[in-house]
Amino acid sequence: MALLETSKYSQGSVLGSVNPDLASERQTASFCVEKLTALLDGGTEQTRIRRAVVEAIQSDPVFSRENQYFQTQNERYEAAVRKAVHLQKKMHEMGWTENGPEYKYIYRALSGDVAFLLHRVFMRSISVLGSDKQIAKWIPLATQHKLIGSYAQTELGHGTYLQGLETTAVFDTATQEFILNTPKISAMKWWPGDMGRSATHTVVFAQLYIHGKCYGIHPFIVQIRSLQDHSLCPGITAGDIGPKMNFEHIDNGYLLLKNVRIPRENMLSKFCEVRPDGTYVRQGSQQINYFTMTTVRISLISDEVLTPLMKACTIAIRYSAVRRQSKLKPGEQEAKILDYQTQQEKLLPQLAAAYAFHFVNDYLQELFNRGYGEIQRKNFDMLPELHALSSGFKAVITQQCTAGVEICLRACGGHGYSLLSGLPSLYTKIIASCIYEGENTILLLQTARFLLKCFMAANAGQPVPPSVTYLAAVKHGKCPAKNKLDFLSPDIYTEAYQHVAVRLTSSAAAKLQDLIQSGVKKHDAWNQCTVQLVQAAKAHCHYIAVKNFAETVEKLETKADIQKIMKHLCDLFALHGIFSNTGAFLHDGYISAAQIDMVTASYLDLLAVIRKDAVPLVDAFDFTDKSLNSALGSYDGQVYQRLYEWAQKSPTNQMSPAYERYLKPLLHNTLSKL
Amino acid sequence: MALLETSKYSQGSVLGSVNPDLASERQTASFCVEKLTALLDGGTEQTRIRRAVVEAIQSDPVFSRENQYFQTQNERYEAAVRKAVHLQKKMHEMGWTENGPEYKYIYRALSGDVAFLLHRVFMRSISVLGSDKQIAKWIPLATQHKLIGSYAQTELGHGTYLQGLETTAVFDTATQEFILNTPKISAMKWWPGDMGRSATHTVVFAQLYIHGKCYGIHPFIVQIRSLQDHSLCPGITAGDIGPKMNFEHIDNGYLLLKNVRIPRENMLSKFCEVRPDGTYVRQGSQQINYFTMTTVRISLISDEVLTPLMKACTIAIRYSAVRRQSKLKPGEQEAKILDYQTQQEKLLPQLAAAYAFHFVNDYLQELFNRGYGEIQRKNFDMLPELHALSSGFKAVITQQCTAGVEICLRACGGHGYSLLSGLPSLYTKIIASCIYEGENTILLLQTARFLLKCFMAANAGQPVPPSVTYLAAVKHGKCPAKNKLDFLSPDIYTEAYQHVAVRLTSSAAAKLQDLIQSGVKKHDAWNQCTVQLVQAAKAHCHYIAVKNFAETVEKLETKADIQKIMKHLCDLFALHGIFSNTGAFLHDGYISAAQIDMVTASYLDLLAVIRKDAVPLVDAFDFTDKSLNSALGSYDGQVYQRLYEWAQKSPTNQMSPAYERYLKPLLHNTLSKL
């Protein structure tokens, strides 16, 4: 343990030993933290590799994030470019490759604070959408960084609805070129990362026109800046879209195209080709393309959503164990705020959610791998289910983790509000995940559409994908729980969640049918049901999450201590969901009011139980101090010293011209005034 | 209307006329916007004064906020100091005084973006806590800005629990001085505004020691910087606490005191005095002091909490009327996102809450004025009720308005995430209101303690304050609503809210008593009930808010069109509360599941009704474009042009050294690497 304490210590200043209030929390852990870490990593070997990557990255001063909270947007951008360039060197030095086992830990170790992430998306889109010839031409150039790529899809006036994009690419048979234009201001490309200042090339999505006929959205490789001097190419207007809530390190950009001509060969043509005479040819199946969005949504959950929540929990829980405020018992010293029931009720459900969603992520990864295997065998049957689950969970997890980070921030009071706590930047970053890669409401409605379809099919006796077979089995029973301990049985609560998901799906379906039968047009009827459809989709995901957590716990039988604490967290996750949404369970009497009181009692009991292991449970996430970059969350819990030392380095403690210019004339009454 | 359009136009760039999608929303208003504005202002004369102040402030370039989103923390601070100094001149020019009718509009017109706010708190604390002699000495100095004051209460380790403050003031009879010390790092003063870089003096709260005996917390005037050259005084260490989530313009500071000696006369001594021989004398009643917190909590609601929510609603609703995305009906053009039920369900309840809380604020102001009158007559009977209501509503309103701003931000998708939308800064600022001036959970527990006390008293037949007499009348009936239209009756839903508030209070009281009777110690029992006590306090405030809204609507009978739309908003506010918290109403069967379905139906119907007036309802808030400072929310709805023009001015579009330093060597393969 001594070794760990040293290795986790950081943030530049030399402080004393571990705060005794934090040390005492670790002495009573009911389980082995190291074992739980290995479980989360997927094995001790993974833990070893991850730690080696973290050590290599975080010991390199170029990758330091210590000044991050003091930097301007320009400084953040420049640092991110510097890190991206340095990373190339580092990877070579360390022998890391893009296909190696270390790769997935690199981005995490950098906390995403690096440029050229869109360069990878540029490469992936060429690999997926390009012909063999195009791949052979562009991928080596990109790999060797002879160009910097971006990905220009979203427009100022168009996000989610791709068919609405207004950028045009008109084929000119005479010159064998496409002529690209953003004909209106709303057609301007807006948001693409790395495009504002860095990229030399980008993949532009545009409406293809041949001989006056529109063939819909297609991708085109467009050079936007000179490879010689980085000046903008003819017909190109581009720049940075300015300040954002976070992502200051990324140069999200805008792009105007005015009669930009590109050769015919620059339309990515794995699936569609334009022949020299203007003939349009479709080839192969585009279904794999549809799979790409699924890939992205699943892959962002871990790094962009779970990691921030885990970090926020670590910071808030460690802080709550060292912060003392007010007295619980008269005559005693002030109490740790973690001992207040209201503080436990804020933080511990977030901790349980972090674990629950970690296991959901494992589940989705496994499902995804299976689906990918099937697709390789040209079997696309799993796609709709995969799409529905990845969409729904992207929405539910981003939403709940964002709310969780906000709760952690507020639970740290004033100190949580300081950027030095690390919490504001976690929040301002994670909230974007609710919007990008599919706006959450729209995604939930896609899940709901799938649910409705499966509900109809299941009730017509047709086969449905495994995750929704439960929709066929509408049960009209009641929850059998007789006392509060019964609610610690996974069967009891999983069944309750299932019941609610079925009820909400079936009642949304019934409302939709009633409306249509009463003469409301289909699209209007759909719109009038959307609030309830969103509820159904959420209930479905919540049910799967609870069920999956319970099943995961069951499989841990060889690790008794870990299993026990995970069981508590699973119970808490499930009961918190009921406690905070009692109406859904009470509505048709499946759970009675007396049973809700039992849920409440068990839920509050669990808070006190899990509170005892709260610090070890966040220690198991195994973040270094440098990863957390937080004055409140450090492993040693020396909160006040760290805040003070760090604040002193702030640029706001440099000399300001405000005194000579304004304060002195005011105080010396030499303002020419009054 | 033409005049208004011009006068509301701003943001530096010259754009065309009003976006037709927005203009059409205004043509169908069911009520007179100008009349509603006057109602919100409290009369047409108030509207006139407010607009004159706004015009005078916003036409003065020194007060411009246009570059705010591009500025560093240092630049923000310097601008705020400049504005504060300029404001003195402006007030003189305009003939505005601190007691004049214009005064309350000045801060609002500046959007709070000005320094020296704590100077006023410094003055107020001397006026309230100082002797006549102290007032005569310090107030003129402060008024003439011969010093700049601050207010140093919060410490690094101590916030809410004042008794826990660790700063000491030891009386030295030999020199007739107090010796002030911050003996530990956790005792350091931390957070006081204007203290980091500006203040010359501050009121320090410290534990008073005389002859070794502690007399508790007292206030002392301490000079911290030289009036000559602004250097720190002997024994003083002070500076800025660094970057925060918002409030970059304020120099929140830290302060260490090492054997700082101040004369005996510097202890504020209206209520307590230390005589030359060290005798400690209490005098007068401190109850008025207790009243100060109430004042602050009520006064912050309007400017710091309601205004941001109203601005966020204005921005998000105008944007939703011009943003078109996806198709509602096949074959038609893309739909305004405001036409989607899910978008309405996000935004319109926030709009209803803004109005509901505006009227709660009126109610609290009136109650406060009445209470103040009583106190002047030495009658302190109203204090406990006033304290409970101001605490509870401070918590409930800050919490709900913060959530509302976040919903507005997310409802604007990617563009809401740009600082240029104005929404991120509204959010990062309003969230602080949940923490400052009493952390919300602690305030709710104070309200709950009052509720419990009154509940016991009422049920023992003793008299209780007017706002809680309902606690005596526990009814066991059922909600009489028979169809969805019945839920548009204020009696029906107000009664339901009342029922829930009584039930939650009585069940928390019962649980507390049961625990104590079963042998749990009182403080432990209290802690074990706090989650439920918080629920009871919230339910109480929610009930009062609904009841007050309904009563306000009733009084509007002379203004039929306004009354009608306010009635819709009142209904929406009430039904949204039931819809999003059905369990509370279903729990004991007061409302049945069938009735909840009626609530849902009426609630969803209302969304479609209010949607028609959504833009006029935000227009009535009467924000100028300069107040909103938002590319999405301008009166003319020219969203895309404004985003583009504004982004081009961002410092991120200046030359960056990143190209020469990193990108060029990378692209030209001249990095000494690989």
- Could you report the per-residue pLDDT of B485-503, keeping only the tens digit for each? 999 999 999 999 999 999 9
A residues 359-398 closer than 8 Å to B (CB): none
Q: What residues of chain B lie within 8 A of the CB of A428, using their CB?
A: 245, 424, 428
Asked if A410's CB is within 8 angstroms of B417's CB, the reply is no
Q: Which residues pair with A272 in a beta bridge?
A: A282
Asked if B646's CB is within 8 angstroms of A341's CB, the reply is no
Using CB atoms, pick whichever of B326, B432, B667 lies closest to residue A161: B326
Asked if A73's CB is within 8 angstroms of B644's CB, the reply is no
Using CB atoms, pick whichever of A435, A588, A652 lies closest to residue B77: A652
Q: Determine contact: B443 vs chain A, CB below 8 A.
A: no
A193 is in an annotated binding site: yes
Q: Shortest Cα distance from B239 to chain A (angstroms)? A: 6
Using CB atoms, pick whichever of B157, B325, B330 lies closest to residue A160: B325
pLDDT of residue A4: 38
Q: State pLDDT tens for residues B526-547.
A: 999 999 999 999 999 999 999 9
Q: Determine contact: A143 vs chain B, CB below 8 A.
A: no
pLDDT of residue A672: 59
* Mean pLDDT value across residues A46-59: 97
Model confidence band, residue A460 (pLDDT cutoffs 50, 70, 90): very high
Q: State pLDDT tens for residues A511-543.
A: 999 999 999 999 999 999 999 999 999 999 999
Model confidence band, residue A15 (pLDDT cutoffs 50, 70, 90): low
pLDDT of residue B474: 66
Residue A627 pLDDT greater than 70, yes or no: yes
Residue B17 pLDDT greater than 80, yes or no: yes
Q: Shortest Cα distance from B601 to chain A (angstroms)? A: 10
Q: Determine contact: B435 vs chain A, CB below 8 A.
A: yes
* Mean pLDDT value across residues A319-331: 93
Asked if A587's CB is within 8 angstroms of B596's CB, the reply is yes
Share of chain A above pLDDT 90, in %: 89
More confidently predicted of B597 and A99 = B597
* Mean pLDDT value across residues B33-38: 98
Q: What residues of chain B lie within 8 A of the CB of A650, using their CB?
A: 240-243
pLDDT of residue A464: 96
Using CB atoms, pick whichever of B161, B596, B640 lies closest to residue A157: B640
Asked if A69's CB is within 8 angstroms of B197's CB, the reply is no
Average pLDDT of chain A to the nearest whole number: 94
Model confidence band, residue B2 (pLDDT cutoffs 50, 70, 90): very low
Using CB atoms, pick whichever of B145, B523, B531 lies closest to residue A667: B145
Asked if A674's CB is within 8 angstroms of B92's CB, the reply is yes
Q: In what order do the strands lie in the sheet with B189-190?
A: B189-190, B253-257, B236-240
Asked if B242's CB is within 8 angstroms of A154's CB, the reply is no
Q: Shortest Cα distance from B443 to chain A (angstroms)? A: 12
Asked if A575 contacts A487 with a C-beta cutoff of 8 angstroms, the reply is yes
Paired sense of beta strands B151-152 and A280-282, if any:
unpaired
Q: Determine contact: B645 vs chain A, CB below 8 A.
A: no
Place of tokens 């540029």: A122
Residue B478: count of CB within 10 angstroms of its CB:
13
Residue A16: count of CB within 10 angstroms of its CB:
8
Integer Cα distance of B658 and B644 in angstroms: 24
Q: Shortest Cα distance from A3 to chain B (angstroms)? A: 28
SS (H, E, C) B430-469: HHHHHCCCCCHHHHHHHHHHHHHHHHHHHHCCCCCCHHHH
| CA-angle at A338, arms to A307 and B430, nearest 5° | 65
N residues, chain B:
674
Share of chain B above pLDDT 90, in %: 89
Residues in binding site of B for FAD = 154, 193
Model confidence band, residue A1 (pLDDT cutoffs 50, 70, 90): very low
- A155, A304, A406, A437: which is the annotated catalytic residue? A437
Place of tokens 């959950």: A301
Integer Cα distance of B644 and A253 in angstroms: 11
pLDDT of residue B401: 98
Q: What residues of chain B lie within 8 A of the CB of A419, using their CB?
A: 242-245
With CA atoms as reference, the chain B residue closest to A148 would be B667
Using CB atoms, pick whichever of A77, A243, A640 lies closest to residue B185: A640
pLDDT of residue A160: 82
Asked if B588's CB is within 8 angstroms of A583's CB, the reply is no
Asked if A326's CB is within 8 angstroms of B244's CB, the reply is no
pLDDT of residue A161: 87
Q: Determine contact: B145 vs chain A, CB below 8 A.
A: yes
Integer Cα distance of A1 and A24 in angstroms: 13
Q: State pLDDT tens for residues A171-224.
A: 999 999 999 999 999 999 999 999 999 999 999 999 999 999 999 999 999 999
Model confidence band, residue A669 (pLDDT cutoffs 50, 70, 90): confident
Using CB atoms, pick whichever of A156, A414, A644 lies closest to residue B191: A414
The residues near A430 (Cβ < 8 Å, ≥ 6 apart) are A304, A305, A308, A309, A398, A401, A402, A405
Integer Cα distance of A204 and A186 in angstroms: 15
Q: Using CB atoms within 10 Å of the CB of residue A358, give its burial: 0 to 12 exposed, 13 to 18 middle, 19+ buried.
A: buried
Model confidence band, residue A447 (pLDDT cutoffs 50, 70, 90): very high
Q: What residues of chain B lie within 8 A of the CB of A527, using their CB?
A: 328, 339-341
Kindly state the helix (H) or strand (E) to which residue B519 belongs, with its residue range: none
Instruction: Please report, in angstroms and rounded to a whole number, the separation of the first and last CA atoms in chain B.
Output: 67
Q: Which two tokens stand for residue B361?
A: 């604020």
* Mean pLDDT value across residues A115-119: 95
Q: What residues of chain A lie within 8 A of the CB of B662, using their CB?
A: 78, 81-82, 84-85
Asked if B85's CB is within 8 angstroms of A671's CB, the reply is yes
pLDDT of residue A545: 98
Using CB atoms, pick whichever of A145, A190, A587 lies closest to residue B593: A587
> The pTM is what?
0.97
Kindly state the helix (H) or strand (E) to which residue A88 belongs, with its residue range: helix A73-94
Provide the H-helix boundaries in A337-489.
341-376, 383-411, 413-417, 423-430, 440-459
Cα–Cα distance list, B87 to A153, A396, B82, B92, B149 (Å): 47, 48, 9, 8, 17
pLDDT of residue A291: 78
Asked if A445's CB is within 8 angstroms of B531's CB, the reply is no
Q: Determine contact: B214 vs chain A, CB below 8 A.
A: no
Q: What residues of chain B lie within 8 A of the CB of A434, using their CB?
A: 410
Asked if A315 contacts A628 with a C-beta cutoff of 8 angstroms, the reply is yes
* Mean pLDDT value across residues B231-239: 98
* Mean pLDDT value across residues B200-216: 97
Q: Shortest Cα distance from B528 to chain A (angstroms)? A: 6
Asked if A583's CB is within 8 angstroms of B596's CB, the reply is yes
Q: Determine contact: A215 vs chain B, CB below 8 A.
A: no
Residue A11 pLDDT greater than 90, yes or no: no
> CA quadruple B314, B318, B324, B326: dihedral positive or negative?
positive
Q: State pLDDT tens for residues B136-159.
A: 999 999 999 999 999 999 999 998
Asked if B158's CB is within 8 angstroms of A326's CB, the reply is no
pLDDT of residue A6: 41
* Mean pLDDT value across residues A586-608: 98
Q: What residues of chain A lie within 8 A of the CB of B527, using their CB?
A: 328, 339-341
A437 is an active site residue:
yes
Q: What is the value of ipTM here, to two decimals?
A: 0.96
Model confidence band, residue B646 (pLDDT cutoffs 50, 70, 90): very high
- Maximum Cα interatomic distance, chain A, rounded to a whole number of Å: 91
Average pLDDT of chain B to the nearest whole number: 94
Q: State pLDDT tens for residues B301-349.
A: 999 999 999 999 999 999 999 999 999 888 899 999 999 999 999 999 9
Residue B109 pLDDT greater than 80, yes or no: yes
Q: What residues of chain A lie within 8 A of the CB of B346, using their CB?
A: 441
Q: Which two tokens stand for residue A379?
A: 């079997």
Q: Determine contact: B485 vs chain A, CB below 8 A.
A: no
Asked if A588's CB is within 8 angstroms of B583's CB, the reply is no
Model confidence band, residue B4 (pLDDT cutoffs 50, 70, 90): very low
Q: Which two tokens stand for residue B666?
A: 């990378």
- B155, B248, B304, B437: which is the annotated catalytic residue? B437
Across A6-10, A18-22, B66-70, B271-275, least confident range: A6-10
Residue A3 pLDDT greater than 70, yes or no: no
Q: Which of A223, A323, A417, A433 to mutate to test the interface with B (most CBs of B within 10 A)?
A: A417
CB pairs < 8 Å spanning A and B: 376
Paired sense of beta strands B213-223 and B201-210, if any:
antiparallel
Q: Which residues pair with A240 in a beta bridge?
A: A253
Integer Cα distance of B532 and B514 in angstroms: 14
